Amino acid sequence: MDLLSRLLDWDPSRRISGLPALMHSYFDELREEGLLFPNGNCLPDILNLTAFELGENPEPQTLEKLIPDWYLQQKNTSYERILKIKKQTKK
C-alpha cells in the first residue's frame, strides 16, 4: 500500500517518481538472484536499464540499489562502466 499511495499522491512535490519507485522495497524480490516465474521460467533481463530509464545523472547509491552485485558479476561489468556507457549513448 505504501508504494501505491506514494504513486497516487495528489501533491506532485510528494509523489514518488520513476527511479525511486523502482528502488521501493516492493520490488526487492525482483532483484534476487535466481528468481523464477511460478512456472519455472526465467525472468527477462529486467535489470539492463537504458540511459533514458536511468535519467541524466543517476547517483551511485541509486545504481547500487537498483542493480545488485550478482548481476554485475554475471554481466562482467561495474557501476562505473554502466555510467560511462550510459553517458556515451546520450551523446
Looking at the DSSP bridge assignments, the partners of residue 44 are: none
Cβ neighbors of 10 (< 8 A, separation 6 or more) are none
Structural contact between residues 49 and 67, judged by C-beta atoms closer than 8 angstroms: yes
C-alpha cell at 78: 561495474
Q: Is the pTM of this model over 0.85?
A: no
- DSSP E strands, 1-91: none
- The phi, psi pair for 86, rounded to 5°, reads -65, -40
Q: What is the pLDDT of residues 71-82, one digit of tens each?
A: 999 999 888 887
Query: 19-41 pLDDT, tens per residue?
Result: 899 999 999 999 999 999 999 99
SS3 call for 12: coil
Per-residue pLDDT at 52: 81
Residues of the chain above pLDDT 90, percent: 57
Q: Is it the case that residue 86 has pLDDT exceeding 80? A: no
